[in-house]
Amino acid sequence: MSQKVLLNETEVHIALHRLACHLIENHDNFQNSVLIGLQPRGSFLANRLKYILVNDYKIKNINLGYLDITFFRDDFRRGGKPLEANKTQIDFLVEDKNVILIDDVLYTGRSIRAALTAIQSFGRPLGIELLTLIDRRFSRHLPIQPDYRGRQVDAINEEKVKVCWKENEGEDAVYLVS
């Protein structure tokens, strides 16, 4: 198994700040917008973006929640072992808000489809956007595209994209594993 670096620590840092700036351009002070990180991997990206927005760009009162999509997936009963759900934590209303769904890698689109169904349990958003650090554009099963992307990657199906976060794996990096 070999690994190729797609983004090193500096490039991850640049991509995160660029994504934060795009969010500010479209959502100004976030008064009518909320961030929702998809559990488990999207929560690291969502936390990092909120930190940058609050500390570097002085945006106040950003609502951040975490959404577990385990039982909304169309493949949750297909595996040999039972799935373990993560915790959904949304302590604000999404009704009539602009929701930004956040995940680390957009691959087939099935996780996002599940998230679109799951978020309806919390109200009817005014609009929903998708932010992803890595967009694997040639692997879609569903017609889903990100509104914000850190980097687009052309990976074939056998290749995996591995996103590492300092908080979890001890480094900020993105690898293509084959």
**CA distances (Å), 46 to each of 42, 82, 101, in order?**
6, 27, 9
Q: Is the pLDDT of residue 134 over 80?
A: yes
Integer Cα distance of 163 and 171 in angstroms: 9
- Structure tokens, 50: 């909120």
* Tens-place pLDDT, residues 144-175: 999 999 999 988 868 999 999 999 999 999 99
- Structure tokens, 111: 């996780």
Query: With contact defined as beta carbons under 8 Å apart, do 63 and 108 qualify?
Result: no
Beta-ladder partners of 65: 36
Query: With contact defined as beta carbons under 8 Å apart, do 107 and 66 qualify?
Result: no
Neighbours of 36 (CB within 10 A): 30
* Tens-place pLDDT, residues 56-111: 999 999 999 999 998 786 655 555 666 666 889 999 999 999 999 999 999 999 99
Q: Is the pLDDT of residue 114 over 60?
A: yes
Task: Say what the pTM is.
Answer: 0.93
**pLDDT value at residue 87:** 87
**CA distances (Å), 75 to each of 26, 38, 69, 138, 169, in order?**
34, 17, 11, 21, 27
**pLDDT value at residue 1:** 78
- Structure tokens, 169: 């794996």
**pLDDT value at residue 58:** 97
* Tens-place pLDDT, residues 18-56: 999 999 999 999 999 999 999 999 999 999 999 999 999
